[in-house]
Amino acid sequence: MAGVTGKRHSTTTAVALVCACAAAVLAAPGTAFASPAEPTPPSNGSLEKVRKEIERLYREAGTATDAYNAAEEKAEKQSEEIVRLARSIDKGQTKLDRLKARAGAAARAQYRGGGVPDEARLLLSDSPSRFLDGAGRLRQGQHATKAMLTEMSRTQADLKTYAKDASAQWRKLEANRKAKAEAKKKVKKKIAAAEKLESRLEKKERERLRKLEEEAALRQQSAWVDTGILKDAKGEATSPGKKAIAFATAQIGKPYVWGAEGPKSFDCSGLTSQAWAAAGKGIPRTSQEQWKRLPRVDVKNMRPGDLIIYHKDASHVGLYVGDGAIVHAPRPGRSVTLAGAGSMEILGVVRPDK
């Protein structure tokens, strides 16, 4: 899921669609004298249009959810980096203060010695052995002083670099906070539009709508199975794959909440990323990054534990459990459930433990 694909229909358009559908049915032959108190329910064809519009809105909400999750993940990493840099700056400043103190002590010692440089005092010595001994200490002192000055210079340069990097990370953090806020608005807008559209239907119509959703998913699943794709998909789950499946199936019944990654609720990629984390394998947080960064395998070679990525924009993901089924967190208003792996448009398959 990444940036929302576009505002092709507004809430007003969606509501107008329902009204227009109802009006068309009422105006059809045989319904002209229907009582206003008992309006004729929309036809299946009209409800199918509503179903597709609701599906579109929730898909766009899912895309925006992925954008939100991606921005949140980046913001967390940038915050951690800023903290690390702040610690480095503090540590470097302490070191610089210590070096400056040493340099100041050396300057005060020279002042107390009358301001005569060590080299001059050495030349004025009247003892050969003292001269040689002093020459050795002088060389050591010169090396130590040079090393101290070099260290001071390097520490000052490091502090400047840390400060520059911290400023850059802060700018990125602010940009991602804005991106997160914008994505959040889009998610809420799309969900609100879908909920408003569905809320205008009567109870029986909503039941019929749910039935149409199930029938559409079944048709797509049947068409996918009929291709014979499952005849080749005979791979067995690995030990980590079994752990991921066990985690995901244990979440069945928990509600979908956008941006959630457990333990009480999940969005689609929150479920898959946490399932594989439970299996001991860290994977990207969002379905788009899972698609981009995880190794890909042919659908015919998929095995239980693999992730199936859906839609052209990689806006949805489910965890394959075998026998042509996935466990996934569908959308707002639904709960984590089992579904046909081919009941949605498959983009491809990725393998976390390849």
* Block residue for tokens 């509501």: 15
Residue type, 161: T
Helix and strand counts by DSSP (H, E) for the chain: 8, 6
Catalytic annotation, pick one of 9, 21, 268, 311: 268
Catalytic annotation, pick one of 9, 21, 143, 316: 316
Catalytic annotation, pick one of 19, 143, 311, 328: 328
The answer to whether residue 311 is catalytic is: no
Task: Give the C-alpha separation, 100 to 109, whole Å.
Answer: 14
The answer to whether residue 9 is catalytic is: no
Residue spans of alpha helices (H) in 200-315: 203-226, 239-250, 268-278, 287-293
* Block residue for tokens 């329910």: 41
Task: Give the C-alpha separation, 293 to 301, whole Å.
Answer: 19
Task: Give the C-alpha separation, 100 to 97, whole Å.
Answer: 5
Q: Which of 43, 51, 54 is nearest to 21 (CA)?
A: 43
The answer to whether residue 268 is catalytic is: yes
Q: Which of 174, 177, 183 is nearest to 68 (CA)?
A: 183
Decide: helix, strand or coil at residue 72.
Answer: helix
Q: Which of 280, 250, 256, 285 is nearest to 270 (CA)?
A: 285
Structure tokens at 312: 């052209």
Q: Annotated active-site positions, please?
A: 268, 316, 328
